[in-house]
Structure formats: structure tokens, C-alpha cells
A and B are shown apart, each in its own frame.
Chain A
Amino acid sequence: MRIIGLAYESLEPGIYMHDLVDRTYRIPYPSDGTDILVRRLLEIGRIEKIDVLFPNFDAELLAFMKSREVLEKEGIHTFLPELGQFEERHKANLPAFGKKYGVSVPEGKPVANIRELKEALEDYEYPVVIKGKFYDAYIAGNFEQAAMYFNKISAKWGLPIIIQEFIRGTEVNVIALGDGKGNTIGAVPMRKLYITDKGKAWSGITLDDPRMLELTNHIIRSTRWRGGMELELIKSEKGEFFLIEINPRIPAWVYLAVGAGQNLPEALVKLALGIETQPFTDYRKGVLFIRYSFDLITDISEFEKLSMFGEL
């Protein structure tokens, strides 16, 4: 097996980790156009014969979903959610999603400008959560703060901005994999123990809460979810679960699931290749991950190769 890395930037550390990645190619940003990105991928595919492709950035998923058939014709398999699944779980569509599938979600509304923000906020009690389309979320205690976060997030990630009711409680997450036929191939619940200033998990622990798994199975069964997902949930003080987001990809903390006994990336490869995959039935509870960062040392010639020739 060979692992081919695809990099958007020359300073992505994985490029220089030759013990993990056999070869890396620069690819253009999805914002340059799906066609350009796919053309480059097909070019790489002809050199490397790629069997399975795993997109993982929120901003690139749509481009790869749309190109599924083109890629498959060239033998490049993906195992991503269907476009409809991807669209209906969007933050902006979450209230409708909750209603359709009988899942508790916070009240929410997308807004496109400050006037809409002001009007919409009249129906909410502070604090409210102000969220970006793909990334970022802030808690605003009054209109001035909400407007400030609106501007901050929209400048970075574009529109719309989503207003969401603030649910007091503990944030918990589930990593899961659906086979596209309604079956859950694996699922591991986790609570973040340490978060970065961006709210990303830097440490976490696997939980034993059957209700989280029931909710996950329900969502996968009723949406017939295809591929990896991360559920972001708030467990309220009364012990109720509210779905705040579905990320349509495997999260960065996937290795915790592997450490707890569910090798979800391996299962995902099998699903993508059409190999029969038995669902995982258990995992170890109380397993922790603690992330660390590392200074990778490399030579300028390595950087040069990637920068000048687009491959390393």
C-alpha cells in the first residue's frame, strides 16, 4: 500500500513525513474551481494509480462529492455522503433537519447582513451563538457583540452567518461511520478534556453513554448516512442531548477511536473499495488521547522540490 499526500500549502508538515507518506503532490485550492482541482487529481491519478481518496477539509468536501463519477471512472473511489445528505445537515438547515428526523436541535437561523441579524435576534434570548458556515463559533451576550462576531466571521468565511440558541451544558462528540444503507459500522463517543482557543479538542476521553450511541444510530439509520461523520452534541443539565452540528467527515481526533478498538479509517477504506465490512460492536471506555505538537526538521531542498515542481 502506498500513501499519497495531497497538499494545499508548502508548509503542511505531512509533506515532509516520509515515514508516513510515500509521495506528496501540491493541489490547487477548491476555491480556484472544481474543474482545475479535479484535472490536477486525475493527472496525479494517472501517475500514482490512486484507488481511494479521502478528502477531510470542510471546504474541499463539496468539490469531491460533485466529482464522484468523474473520479470513479478513473478508478478513484471515495466514500463520502451523498450531496443531499451533505446539504440537509448544513448548519443553516439544522432546524429543518431536527424536525425531519425527530432530533432535538437548538433554534437557529441563517442571516446574511446586519439588518437581518438585528431582526432575527429579537426572537432570541442572550446569550446566543454566532457561527460561521464552515468554521468558528462565538457566544455573544448582547447585540453589539453579536454584530462584532458577525463581521469577524463573515470577513473570514463568508455568508451566511448562523444564529443559534445557546444550550447550557457539556459538549460531547461522537465519531461514526455509516455504510450508506442505514447501518452504523462504528461509533465512539468522546468528551473533550482540553480545548484550544479555537475550541478544538487537544485532549479527550471515550465515554460509556448508550444514549449517545442510540442517537448516532438513529441519525445514521434515518439519513442512510454514507461515510464518516462527527456529531457535536450538547448534553444539557437535565441530561437531554441537543444536536448542534454534523461534520460530514472524520474528525482530527479519529486516532482515539482507533486506540479504543475501532479502526474506522481502515473500515472506511474497505467500504470505499466495496469490501464487506462487519460493524464494530464495542470499544474501550475511559481511553484518553492527549495531542502534542512536534518540530519537524527538514532541509530547504525538500521545500524547494515541492515549491518548484509541485511534488515531493
Chain B
Amino acid sequence: MKLKRNIAVSESGFLFDPTGGESYSLNEIGLEIFNLIRDRKTADEISSQITSEYDVARDDFEKYYFDFVGMLRQYKLLEDEE
């Protein structure tokens, strides 16, 4: 899974997709996960990092994680899936 190259995201979590002109806002944890995806971390690596950093069970996190990825796909923010 790869994010589209031209997506811009600021430190505040403001995300802009210049292909379609849409903008979105990410909360703090959303931004952290987004940046991990951008760094090409696998789902396993992301899960390990977040569950070690925050008080959340791995199963619970993965449910939210795949929801999040589903949303990125729905908004056409992933490469080759437009």
C-alpha cells in the first residue's frame, strides 16, 4: 500500500489532495499513522509501534487501523487505486 505521491500534509494534520482538490483533517494519532504509512511501514510494524506507545490492545488497534486505511482508499488517497 502506497500513498499518492502528490498528497501534502502539514504538521497540524491538514491534508490536501491536489488531484481532486479535496482537503481533510487528521487528528494527532491519525497524522502519526499517516506518516508511518508514508514511511512505507507494514501494518504489523505500525501496529507494534502504536500499541507499544499507547494503551491499546493489538486487536482493537488493528480494527481501527483497517477502518482508517479503508477511508484512505475511499477518498482515493492511495496509489494505483483511483
Q: Chain A: which residue is nearest B7 at the CB level?
A: A208
A contact residues, total (Cβ < 8 Å):
14
Query: Which A-chain residue is minimally distant from B6 (CB atoms)?
Result: A208
- The B-contacting residues of A in range 277-296, CB under 8 angstroms, are 285-286
Q: Judging by beta carbons under 8 Å apart, are A286 and B20 in contact? A: no
Over the window 1-25 of chain B, the binary record of Cβ atoms lying under 8 Å from chain A Cβ atoms (1 yes, 0 no) is: 0000010100000001011110000
For the A-B complex, the count of residue pairs with Cβ-Cβ distances under 8 Å equals 28
Which residues of the partner chain B approach A286 to less than 8 Å between Cβ atoms?
8, 16, 18, 21
Contact among A190, A193, A208 for B19, CB-based, below 8 A: A208
A147 at the interface (CB under 8 A from B): no
The residue that A191 contacts in the complex, of B6, B8, B21, with Cβ under 8 A, is B21
Task: Flag whether B82 is at the interface (Cβ < 8 A).
Answer: yes
Q: Mark B35-67, 1 if CB is under 8 A from A, else 0.
A: 000000000000000000000000000000000
Chain A residues near B82 (CB-CB < 8 A)? 239
Contacts of B6 in A (CB 8 A): 208, 285
Smallest Cβ-Cβ distance to A212: which chain B residue:
B19
Taken together as a complex, chains A and B put the C-alpha atoms of A208 and B82 apart, in Å, by 14
Name A210's closest neighbour in chain B (CB-CB): B19
* Most chain B CB inside 10 Å of its own CB: which residue of A205, A208, A285: A208
> Which residues of A have CB within 8 Å of B20?
170, 191, 207, 209, 235
**Chain B residues, CB < 8 A from A191:** 20-21
Interface-centre pick from B6, B20, B21, B76 (highest chain A CB count, 10 A) = B21
Bound form: Cα–Cα A235–B82 in Å:
11
A241 nearest CB across to chain B (Å): 12
- Chain A minimum-CB-distance residue to B18: A208
Residues of chain B lying within 8 A (CB to CB) of residue A207:
18-21
Residues in A13-55 with C-beta less than 8 Å from chain B: none
* Residues of chain B whose beta carbon lies under 8 Å from any beta carbon of chain A: 6, 8, 16, 18-21, 76, 82
A-B contact pairs, 13 of them (CB 8 A): A170-B20, A190-B21, A191-B21, A193-B21, A206-B18, A207-B18, A207-B20, A208-B6, A208-B19, A209-B20, A235-B20, A239-B76, A285-B6
Q: Please give me the 10 A-B residue pairs with the lowest Cβ-Cβ distance, nearest first.
A: A208-B18, A191-B21, A285-B18, A205-B21, A239-B82, A209-B19, A207-B21, A208-B6, A286-B18, A286-B16
